Amino acid sequence: MELLKRKIMSDGVVLSDQVLKVDAFLNHQIDPLLMQQIGHEFAKRFAGQGISKIVTIEASGIAPAVMAGLELGVPVIFARKYQSLTLKDDLYTSTVFSFTKQTESTLAISSKHLNAQDHVLLIDDFLANGHAARALIDLIGQAGASIAGIGVVIEKSFQRGRAELDEQGYRVESLARIQSLSGGQVSFLD
Ligand code: 5GP
């Protein structure tokens, strides 16, 4: 998606050869017009797939997921993050290792909102090593729901998440694929 790539080049900050900061338009300040176009692009790529729900993670997945939900006309569920969780009644839960915080937390979705009839599009802001995607796939599996595919705003293709999801047979659609962040420079795969 050209507009997104231009935005990454103009407003993204390479923090290291592993981490890209996009606080100017996705992770802190949000660019609504860009989010609208991201939602449009996801909806175009997953049109006609019988998607009934979108599932994402708080907080940075919510903006792109809501815009995609608006376009596809389906509800959006965000998995909530807890440092510790004792009351697990009526919740699907899974642990996730955070790439940016380097800590573990528990993700939870209420069983009220997701069930075996759902066909889910999973959306997240970044795909790095695939921990977040794996935890969401686990939660969706607990509900007995099926997965139409995974929509990612920014994929860092040099980390292992994409290859693992491909191997597992999931359809992954990434709107910007980063080949390398070496030397403080962003280079795209296609
Ligand atoms: P994964 O679970 O695939 O290793 O990492 C994906 C999650 O970590 C995303 O939900 C995102 O919040 C965060 N993340 C991973 N890499 C980056 C990055 O380079 N920059 C930012 N801002 N977040 C990242």
Residues of the chain with pLDDT under 70: 87
Number of independent structural domains in the chain: 1
Q: How far is CA 156 from CA 50, 70, 73, 188, in A?
A: 28, 26, 29, 9
Smallest CA-to-CA distance from 155 within 140, 171, 139, 173 is with 173
**Centre of ligand 1 from the C-alpha of residue 142, in Å:** 24
Q: For position 71, what pLDDT does the model report?
A: 98
58 with 78: CB under 8 angstroms? yes
Smallest CA-to-CA distance from 81 within 64, 57, 103 is with 57
Closest residue CA from atom 12 of ligand 1: 126
Query: Is the model's pTM score more than 0.75?
Result: yes
| Angle 44-46-49 from CA coordinates, rounded to 5° | 130
Q: For position 156, what pLDDT does the model report?
A: 98
Q: Specify the DSSP class assigned to residue 2.
A: H
Tell me if 65 CB under 6 Å of ligand 1: no
103 with 109: CB under 8 angstroms? no
Atom of ligand 1 nearest to the CA of 22: 22
Across-strand partners of 146?
119
Atom of ligand 1 nearest to the CA of 18: 19
Phi, psi angles (nearest 5°) of residue 73: 70, 35
Annotated binding residues: 20, 27, 128-132, 156
Residue 26 maps to which CATH number? 3.40.50.2020
Smallest CA-to-CA distance from 147 within 163, 159, 128, 165 is with 165
d(CA 48, CA 36): 19
Instruction: Tell me which residue range forms the domain holding 72.
Output: 2-188
**Centre of ligand 1 from the C-alpha of residue 81, in Å:** 14
